[in-house]
Structure 1
Amino acid sequence: MGARRLRLTARGTALLTLGGAALVAGVLLGVTSLVQVGLLLVLTVASSVGLLHLQARDQARGALHLTRRVTPHPVTEGDPATVEVALTRDRTGRTAPRLDRLEIAERAARELSGGGPLRARVSRERHALRLTYAISPTVRGRWGVGPVQLHRADPFGVARWSGPLGEPALVAVRPRTTPLSITSSAMSSDADRVVLGARSPSPDDTALRDYRAGDDLRRVHWPTSARRGELVVRQDERSGRRPASVLLDLPADADAGEWSIRLAASVAVALVGSGHHVRLLGGDVLDAARDHHRPDATGAAVAALLDQTVDLTMPVDAAERTAWLRTAVDTLQADAGGSELVLALVGELDDETLGALARTGETTHGWAMVRTAETAEPLATAAAERTAQSLSRAGWAVCLVRVGEDLAACWERLLGSDDRAVMSR
């Protein structure tokens, strides 16, 4: 936040210097008129400074009211949005300035402007002032705007006050998603109902999850609870669609990470659109994703999933990346009840993590896209090939994807992998 500052203008400095000189000369020479002129100039400067000080004090006491609105909000990266700042005056403030004489400015993060200048439009009235400017965010995340910077001058132009008003705000920028279709012949075959979009073969059409305080004991699934040694409850799926988890393995590289987030978000949105209850697992915001989001007509499930991606960050090193992924895999293993779909986007994995992920196929129905570097030649490195082959042997439908390629192409390649993996189990 900028500092408050009260300073004399060049005119004010000149008047104060001239007034002081006239006052001293008048006293020394005994010229009354010269003393009067000097006093007048000094008092003019002093009264102007005093007025600005009182106005600043009134502002601190709430004489000016600030509201800021971003439309639409949250914003999608690459889409334009409008920021409107409205400043109104409490008319009971005796020294509050006329707002049509104020100068106003606001800064925004470079990520909201694409690195270019922001052009604002200001509309002024005596008791209201509005600042409007367009933003076009280019990077997912939360980016700052504000605080508003005010500049005011006294009526004589001898002093200026500058300072902030209000608090800065954060604009949430969601990742851009690509429409993906899950209506594919590979996903509607009668040879095996364990496919995306298919009805659950479970007779009670439920998934299982860990018991939580407050759950109805009538929903406890006793056979599974006895086998695991801990309580699990049925999680009803009224739509008949399998619950689905999108597992995201975030790399340390920022470009690869942003591409991965866009792909995972696109998959999650597509699954919600087809009627699945979906959650997104991975990264450092796992606590927000323990439960599945239920699709509804208002789009709340899609909004919740996209909002979760806003705060995702990249791991600082390989150890943190592995820890995040293992936490997500552990959640899958703890909550899976035998009918959940898992769609994983992972990179090259070490043996321990790969083994843990592969074992989730025992209680879930897994689909995986194995990520390779953008410059990988051929398509996959040996480590990525090993990861893909291990998951495929464990019963997953697997395909290789390259960082930066078209998201729809990655998705279609995964659907095509069904004939080689899921349908052969």
Structure 2
Amino acid sequence: MRSGLRALTSRGRSFLASGLAALLMAVLLGENDLFRIGVLVAALPLIAALVVARTRYRLACARRLDPPRAEAGGEATVTLRLENVTRLPTGLLLIEDTVPYALGVRPRFVLDRVEPKGVREIDYRVRSDLRGRFVIGPLSVRIADPFGLVELTRSFTISDTLVVTPQVVALPHVRLSGEWTGGGDSRTRSVAAAGDDDVAPREYRQGDDLRRVHWRSTARHGELMVRREEQQWQSRGALLLDTRRYAHRGEGPRSSFEVAVSAAASIGVHLAHEGLGLRLVTDQGAEHLTDNATSYSLLDTLAVVKTSPARSLEMGITALRQGGGDGLIVAVLGSMSPEDARELAKLRHGGVTGVAVLLDVDSWDVREYGSADNYQAVQAVLAGYGWRIVKLPAGTSIASVWQDAASKGRFTVGGAA
């Protein structure tokens, strides 16, 4: 009863106060009719509080996100499934789900009655123009009486996470040459069509699959020998994203930083679909990407990437240099100094292909933070080392300029050619 009284709404408190006042005036004036009215008005919220407080509903809740990963600016559908697991019908239920401000207002629903063992499903949509990981939930259920005199809130504990990834645009196919690397024993399988006698075995190493043991060679050598496997050749590359705060201009979803993140996501997904083994590097160093899901792992990482206070690309360049074996380096760059450009440019050598996506950050802000001379100087340094230059000004899609990645870097005063 005490919890029911605490759950009185403003209307319930008003009824109770009016009823008590009517009772007091009835006693002072000796009005029996007023006394009966006062009893009725005061009893209504008390009875409602007692009924709601003694209600023992048991509700089961489940939530489904479709899709669980959405692009910035896209929509996702949230489906709530409520089940009444008791043998009693519910009363009026007020449903409210907890949603971050970036996804919109909190959705509220009213369920009039759920029969015993009954199930209700409720759908609503969420949308975000911002990248990130957003926790949806927990769900709260307010049990109310039909007169709106009492509301008792009960909450579930479950929550789900919606990942809002950067916008990804389809890119045209561009031939990007680079060296091929991989891990294994040989380029071709050594088992000849004639049979096991032509197998070129090697000694057993810790972690080798026992199904590869070649028993005839093992008996001949007196130690475990295994068949050599085919070399798993795969083109490898690195994607450098410049996240330095001072290297970008603008605010919000249309800032140069968000455009850079979207461009990196588009390039990374495009190259992953073409079979490139990719690693992500920022000015803070190498980022960890899980295996077997390169595109998803890249998008999940870029969904939460933020600007950094760094002033130099030194850590990122060091991470690229230490990685080694990259046949392709794609760098998405903001404003940078010719010195940083020179250190980055030196990474392109031999069979390594370098592609620099240069954001013209001054086109995002009318104020003069940099200069066109510095921008052309950076292009000249990179092109001088054989990098391919892709210029990306404000309001331009990476898809419309990605074809420039096919042009080997030759720089003239007018720009890249």
TM-score (norm 1): 0.69
> Which residue is equivalent to 1:212?
none
Q: CA deviation at 1:17?
A: 3.3
Q: Which one of 276, 287, 294 corresponds to residue 301 of structure 1? A: 294
Aligned to 2:9: 8
| One-letter amino acid of the counterpart of residue 375, structure 1 | S
1:349 aligns with 2:336: yes
Deviations 1:343-402 (A, max 9, x none): 11112323553343233224743221222126279x982222222222222332333322
Specify which of 74, 77, 80 is matched with residue 79 of structure 1: 74
- CA deviations over 1:330-353 (Å, ceiling 9, x no partner): 21111213x531111112323553
Name the CA shift for 1:45/1:121 in 2 (closer, same or farther; >3 Å): closer
Match of 1:125 among 114, 135, 145: 114
Please give the residue correspondences for 1:198-347 in structure 2 after superposition, counting only pairs within 5 Å.
Answer: 199=180, 238=231, 240-252=233-245, 253=249, 254=251, 255-282=255-282, 286-289=286-289, 293=291, 300-315=293-308, 320-322=309-311, 325-337=313-325, 339-347=326-334
AA of the residue aligned to 2:67: P
Contact 2:174 2:405 in 1 (8 A): no
1:258 maps to a residue whose letter is: E
* 1:358 equivalenced with 2:351 (yes/no): no
CA positional deviation for 1:164: 4.9
Task: Supply the AA of the counterpart residue of 1:242.
Answer: S
Is the contact between residue 250 and residue 283 of structure 1 (CA under 8 Å) also seen in structure 2?
yes
Query: 1:242 and 1:69 mapped to 2: Cα distance?
Result: 38
Superposition map of 1:73-152 within 5 A: 73-91=68-86, 98=90, 101-106=92-97, 108-109=99-100, 111-112=102-103, 125-126=114-115, 127-152=118-143
Q: Secondary structure in 2 aligned to 1:52?
A: helix
Coordinate RMSD, CA, aligned: 4.2
For 1:368, the equivalent position in structure 2 comes to: 356
Q: Aligned equivalents of 1:217 and 1:153: distance in 2? A: 63
Counterpart for residue 153 of structure 1: 144
Deviates more, 1:18-27 or 1:399-408: 18-27
Q: Provide the rounded CA distance (Å) in 2 between the counterparts of 1:263 and 1:183.
A: 15
SS at match of 1:66: strand
Q: Report how far residue 183 of structure 1 moved.
A: 4.0
- Paired amino acid for 1:67: A
Unaligned runs of 5+ in 2: 1-5, 188-204, 209-228, 413-417
* 1:284 and 1:312 in contact (8 A); partners too: no
| Higher-Rg member (1/2) | 2
- Partners of 1:205 and 1:413 in 2: how far apart? 36
Q: In the alignment, residue 342 of structure 1 is paired with which amino acid?
A: I
Measured after TM superposition, the shift of residue 283 of structure 1 is 6.1
The equivalent residue for 1:65 is 60
Residue aligned with 2:233, SS: coil
Instruction: Name the one with the larger helix percent.
Output: 1
Alignment check: 8 A CA contact 1:246 1:281 kept: yes
Letter in 1 for 2:237: A
CA distance 1:205–1:258, change in 2 (3 Å): farther
Contact 2:9 2:149 in 1 (8 A): yes
Q: What secondary structure is seen at the aligned counterpart in 2 of 1:322?
A: coil
2:114 maps to amino acid: E
Q: Deviations over 1:173-201 (max 9, x none)?
A: 111211223344xx4xxxxxxx15x7569
| Aligned residue type for 2:257 | G
> For structure 1, which segment, 391-400 or 253-262, has the greater mean C-alpha deviation from structure 2 after superposition?
391-400
Secondary structure of the 2:332 match is strand
| 2: CA distance, partners of 1:336 / 1:137 | 38
Shift of 1:263: 0.8
TM-score by length of 2: 0.70
Q: Is the 8 Å Cα contact of residues 372 and 380 (structure 1) preserved in structure 2?
A: no
Q: In 2 relative to 1, CA 48–119 (structure 1 residues): closer, same or farther, beyond 3 Å? A: closer
How far apart in 2 are the matches of 1:361 and 1:394? 7
Change (3 A) 1:123 1:13: closer
Residue-by-residue CA offset, 1:255-310 (whole Å, 9 max, x unaligned)? 11111111111111111111111122126694424x7x55xxxxx22111111111
Contact 1:77–1:175, Cα closer than 8 Å, also in 2: yes
Distance 2:45 2:300 in 1: 53
Q: Which residue of 1 aligns with 2:405?
A: 414
For these two proteins, the number of residue pairs brought into alignment is 357
Q: Is the 8 A contact 1:74 1:174 kept in 2?
A: yes
CA distance 1:394–1:372, change in 2 (3 Å): same
Contact persistence 1:372–1:402 (CA under 8 A): yes
Q: 1:22 to 1:403 in 2, by over 3 A?
A: closer
- Counterpart-to-counterpart distance in 1, 2:112 and 2:41: 35
Q: Where does the alignment leave 5 or more consecutive residues of structure 1 unmatched?
A: 188-194, 207-214, 219-235, 295-299
Contact 2:256 2:359 survives alignment (8 Å): no
Deviation at 1:139? 2.5
Aligned 8 A contact 2:169 2:399 in 1: yes
